[in-house]
Structure 1
Amino acid sequence: MTQHFQQHSKLPLRRVLLGAAASALIMIGGPAAIHAQESDPAPVPQSAEGNASAPVSAPVPASGQTAPAEQTADTAASPEDTVENAVSDAEKQPNVSKPVMFDPAMVTNLARNLAKQPFVNPHRELPEALSALSAEDYAQIRFKSQRAFFNPAETDFSLELFHPGTMYDVPVTINLVRGGEVQVIPYSAGLFDFGKTGLSGNDFSTQNYAGFRLRYPLSDVTSNDELTRFLGASYFRLQGQGQSIGQMARGLAVDLAGPTGEEIPVFREFWIVEPKDGANTITVFALLDSERITGAYQFDITPGNRSQADIKAHLFFRDGVEKIGIAPLNGMFLFGEQRRRFFDDYRGEVHSSDGLLINNGRGEWLWRPLDNPQHLQMSSFLDENPIGFGLLQRDRNFDHYQDLEKRFDQQPGYWVTPKGKWGKGHIELVEIPSPSETNDNIVAYWVPETKPTAGGEMQVEYSVTATRDGTGLHGMAQATDTRIQRLASQGDEDRSGTRFVLNFAGGDLDYFIKDANNLRADISASKGEVRNIRILPDPENGGVRVFFDLVNTGDATSSNLRVFLLYQNKVLSETWTMPWAF
């Protein structure tokens, strides 16, 4: 059974607005240094005594230490100094141990062991030159594309790194896995173009990186499009063909919008497996850490028209957690066609997603349009073994947005598909009041009914697909538009009301419109009275337009609304649902 609850809160926004934190430093131990020269590792550097250092050997350093980078990418050896020769030279030297070979169990063991240790805040104080950067200045620091990792003759994927700065104050360790061998990428300023920031002469060698992105030719064989990026806290983005950068997903949400404040996990370390020749999937492993939770993640990322990330997470709990959010999705909604809040803006709509779609365990499809409410609003949809949910951008008409830079009409929607049985719980939607589009004020995630306890573990698998409007997820008519109009009272005994105007289109709706007398709208309200129901064919937009008025006939403060279309007894559409405050 799916139930919907609405909750308003006046918590301070500074405790609930979604910050983008960065990530910290954990090492497997003794990995060799990777350099971007010709996308190959640099040869093994010589020590002061003339002995070669081991490529991935040496004793395993303590957590938080990195192998020294004696040679930067700018001074890397010439291409003829191959990896094979470097390893051969190293084997001639005494006391050289073998390379560290990667095993996914290593990441799981790191997370398990880290959960047994006291939490150490991964955020560090950046040099003022980096911490004082504005978002615009930080955007000028660009990775030099010609220094991207991976051999273009063997794979279409390429790897670029993000520099620390501004809000990204957690040093992230990034490893490559090549031929099964772990190789760390040491910091190198030579990998970056600092633009007009004036930072090119600074020494930031102790800062490590802030994150990374993967590129792939999504548009055509000659393109170099962004496929995914991992930057800040546990956030990541995913794009498919013809999509622009939009909303985000993240690894985990902890006590989001709760009374004690949100706990924000970070990805502290990554292992990126170099794709084999011709592979169309790339695998990324990640170590997650927060005050009460650690986790080992695996992302199998496949580019395409609808790029997809298949995700496995193994979580470990230092302490109990009141509310854990699985597969969280982040969006932005400033205003849309319903115009429940007004902004002085030349654009008709400003949002990265316009609704939450749910396919619950009973097979019902629910569509919940998003809002930028006056107060914090939380909606819960009780469920058991959900089939899927996602934040979607259904409106693809550029004329509705008129934004040539953000291209909201091209931004992806994200669809989460659980793998296995997730049991009982609820999908939670958090809508945070926001005066600006700079805030990601929409979050949706799954909350298990069973709360994690100290010393416990949890494993979960799911996929995140970067879709457009969700077409193809089901064959029914979609709720495409929501418009709202306040109605003034017409006399002393008449109460004011609200008129809702909904558009449904797609599926087999146009076929059944031919017999409009047997087409009806099932409309229900938990409080108040529904009046003046009408259904009209919409030749301009396709489908039909449904009108109804809601009048508060009592002292209720809010009402939960549901609308779906039927032909005789056949359900033709998904169910539109919305909480309404009188």
Structure 2
Amino acid sequence: MTHHFPRRTALVLKHVLLVAIATGTVVFGTPLLAQAQSNDPAAAQPANTDVAPAPASEAQVKPVAPVATPDAQPATDNDATAASEQTSEEQVDNADQADSQKPAVSAPVMFDPAMVIERARALANAPFENPHRELPDALANLSSDAYDQIRFKSQRAFFNPDNSDFSLELFHPGNMYDVPVAINLVRDGEIQVIPFSAGLFDFGKTGLSGNDFSTQGYAGFRLRYPLSNVGSSDELTRFLGASYFRLQGEGQSIGQMARGLAIDLAGPTGEEIPVFREFWIVEPKKGDQTITVYGLLDSARVTGAFRFEINPGTRSQADVKANLFFRDGVEKIGIAPLNGMFLFGEQRRRSFDDYRGEVHSSDGLLINNGRGEWLWRPLDNPVHLQMSSFLDENPIGFGLLQRDRNFDHYQDLERRFDRQPGYWVTPKGNWGKGHVELVEIPSPSETNDNIVAYWVPETKPVAGGEMEIEYSITATRDGGGLHDLAQATDTRIMRIASQGDDDAGRTRFVLNFAGGDLDYFIGDAKNMRADVSASEGKIENIRVMPDSENGGVRVFFDLVNDGEARSSNLRVFLLHKDRVLSETWTMPWVF
């Protein structure tokens, strides 16, 4: 649910379909709160979680192991004689003085989720400090492939395997990950900071070792869980870089990403990139099937306290709650942002010379709007930046999905696009008025995550304002089970050149629908039809025919530009008599 607190303003909604604005992505990070060297992951120390250092009278960080003291010198005869000549009053004074010089025994710092919220609120009232930090050249100059060779030593993973199926691993800084992130464990309610240790990492063939640079702090963390079978150790989730995180279910490979927040993405003033500065990971107890992570987010205008309750499974899910605090007003806040990659698919290959038939981590945006309608929007790698807005009130859900699960369509043994998850966002409570926004950024390479989708509330955040939001993210294979309608599975497009002065030329669309009750109604195909509409231009040659090879039905139609319009919004869905059989396929088209 979305709660806005004092100081609201009305949003003047700008519905933009095509905006040619170049944009990029920069990853930042955060200062580490404790950088004590240790080669033992178990030697975690309690951390003070106040924004500023606590006064001496307050609870201080205690050492986990006793601190060694210098050996005592043997007493001499003169010392013993002098001691025996002290009066009883002098002995009392000396005892009091000695007691005052003893180190104070610190109490453990106990974790309370409210303290993360208070940290975020206090941070919003303090000036923003850029968390970017210059890495040593040996780390900063690592290529992505070289960075991937730096691996956490799995035998040093956190959490007792006798008590939990979860395990915790850490990421080393390097490459673009140039910001230290404080990582804390919450054990039996007590906060224990994980001090940085280069000894936890294997540096592979990088030629580096822990002695090549000073203490740097961690870049992020990953959680593992036996998703495939009882003896496996599969990646469940990772938090690495800015506010990005990934989530996988059983049989899924690493694919698209989610974010904590998007701020002014693809806007005229440039995007602001928030980061997670600190995490608190609650160590699961024996039998726990859920693990909880708390994160502190920071950026120039927004801070946030996040809670992630992560449930592993066939369709792993993260329940997210965020309390946001605004240092300053924000023109466009993106809630529950999802990041995907789309280079090319079956509809248009453009000029890519590639042995693979398709290259993408998601192939469409699915929306279940507040009116109960299901919309499918196939993705594109446009020539110019493209933004699409879907006006709504109290959305039921949205997500970037990877529907095509046929390996033969990808032929990629390394990235396994056929196994990458789609993400489905389910709002909790009423989110009010706003729109789902889809941003498609031109990209020449699959290394760029050029697709972003998120919710934009109608009410703009203002300086000093607060917002509370709750939702869940599910890592699903193809979105099956979300609804019982037929799905739009394929989109193919071809240009048909003009055949003379009286022929303006046309574009032919070929769509495949499958699933739901289509097989049942195909037996009465004469009463099956496609409802095809266009905001501009003329629709001709609509045909519906059973697809005996792929299953379901295939829809053909031509779009003719019969005027001066530069673009058109298209919609298609299937009916049997008056019964809706499919979700609504929709696409913007530039003539």
Q: Same fold, TM exceeding 0.5?
A: yes
| Secondary structure, aligned partner of 1:553 | coil
| Secondary structure, aligned partner of 1:167 | coil
Query: Quick check: 1:56 aligned with 2:37?
Result: no
Query: Quick check: 1:475 aligned with 2:484?
Result: yes
8 A contact 2:539–2:558 mirrored in 1: yes
8 A contact 2:35–2:217 mirrored in 1: no
Deviation at 1:341, TM superposition (A): 1.9
Alpha-carbon distance in 2 for matches of 1:298, 1:68: 24
Alpha-carbon distance in 1 for matches of 2:229, 2:103: 50
- Structure 2 matches for 1:196-345, cutoff 5 A? 196-339=205-348, 341-345=350-354
Query: Quick check: 1:497 aligned with 2:503?
Result: no
Higher mean alpha-carbon deviation, 108-117 vs 128-137, is at: 128-137
Q: CA RMSD in A?
A: 2.3
Deviation at 1:127, TM superposition (A): 0.8
Aligned match of 2:532 in 523, 533, 536? 523
Give the corresponding residue for 2:21.
11
Query: Quick check: 1:158 aligned with 2:167?
Result: yes
8 A contact 2:290–2:312 mirrored in 1: yes
Higher RCO by CA contacts (8 Å cutoff, separation 6 or greater): 2
- Structure 2 matches for 1:425-444, cutoff 5 A? 425-444=434-453
Query: Quick check: 1:183 aligned with 2:192?
Result: yes
- Alignment deviations for residues 537-558 of structure 1 (CA, whole Å, 9 cap, x no partner): 0011111000000000001000
Give the corresponding residue for 1:383.
392
Structure 1 residues 259 and 352, CA, compared in 2 at 3 Å: closer, same or farther?
same
- Structure 2 matches for 1:129-144, cutoff 5 A? 129-144=138-153
TM-score scaled by length of structure 2:
0.88
8 A contact 1:36–1:149 mirrored in 2: no
Which of structures 1 and 2 has the bigger CA Rg? Answer: 2
Aligned match of 2:43 in 41, 44, 48? 41
8 A contact 2:50–2:119 mirrored in 1: no
- Alignment deviations for residues 236-287 of structure 1 (CA, whole Å, 9 cap, x no partner): 0000000000000000000000000000000000000000111000000000
Amino acid at match of 2:565: A
Query: Quick check: 1:102 aligned with 2:104?
Result: no
| Secondary structure, aligned partner of 2:398 | strand
Structure 1 residues 570 and 448, CA, compared in 2 at 3 Å: closer, same or farther?
same
Alpha-carbon distance in 2 for matches of 1:263, 1:390: 23
Query: Quick check: 1:25 aligned with 2:31?
Result: yes
- Alignment deviations for residues 414-446 of structure 1 (CA, whole Å, 9 cap, x no partner): 000000000000000000000000000000000
Alpha-carbon distance in 1 for matches of 2:559, 2:490: 18
8 A contact 1:164–1:207 mirrored in 2: yes
Which residues of structure 1 form unaligned runs of 5+?
43-54, 73-92
8 A contact 1:22–1:171 mirrored in 2: no
Alpha-carbon distance in 2 for matches of 1:489, 1:359: 38
Alpha-carbon distance in 1 for matches of 2:259, 2:49: 34
Query: Quick check: 1:573 aligned with 2:582?
Result: yes
- Alignment deviations for residues 151-177 of structure 1 (CA, whole Å, 9 cap, x no partner): 000000000000001110111000000
Deviation at 1:34, TM superposition (A): 10
TM-score scaled by length of structure 1:
0.89
Deviation at 1:198, TM superposition (A): 1.8
Alpha-carbon distance in 1 for matches of 2:583, 2:19: 29
8 A contact 1:150–1:274 mirrored in 2: yes
- Structure 2 matches for 1:344-423, cutoff 5 A? 344-423=353-432
Alpha-carbon distance in 2 for matches of 1:555, 1:114: 53
- Alignment deviations for residues 312-365 of structure 1 (CA, whole Å, 9 cap, x no partner): 000000000000000000000000000152310000000000000000000000
Alpha-carbon distance in 2 for matches of 1:17, 1:474: 35
Give the corresponding residue for 1:50.
none
Give the corresponding residue for 1:82.
none
Alpha-carbon distance in 2 for matches of 1:235, 1:431: 18
8 A contact 1:401–1:408 mirrored in 2: yes
Deviation at 1:9, TM superposition (A): 2.6
Structure 1 residues 162 and 69, CA, compared in 2 at 3 Å: closer, same or farther?
farther
Alpha-carbon distance in 2 for matches of 1:108, 1:530: 54
Give the corresponding residue for 1:78.
none
- Alignment deviations for residues 277-304 of structure 1 (CA, whole Å, 9 cap, x no partner): 1100000000000000000000000000
Give the corresponding residue for 2:73.
none
Deviation at 1:71, TM superposition (A): 10
8 A contact 2:339–2:450 mirrored in 1: yes
Amino acid at match of 1:393: Q
Structure 1 residues 224 and 57, CA, compared in 2 at 3 Å: closer, same or farther?
closer
Amino acid at match of 2:268: P
Aligned residues, how many? 539
Amino acid at match of 2:173: P
Structure 1 residues 60 and 394, CA, compared in 2 at 3 Å: closer, same or farther?
closer
Deviation at 1:204, TM superposition (A): 3.8
Alpha-carbon distance in 2 for matches of 1:450, 1:4: 13
Alpha-carbon distance in 2 for matches of 1:61, 1:40: 25
8 A contact 1:482–1:503 mirrored in 2: yes
Amino acid at match of 2:141: A
- Alignment deviations for residues 67-88 of structure 1 (CA, whole Å, 9 cap, x no partner): 999999xxxxxxxxxxxxxxxx
| Secondary structure, aligned partner of 1:106 | helix
8 A contact 1:218–1:240 mirrored in 2: yes
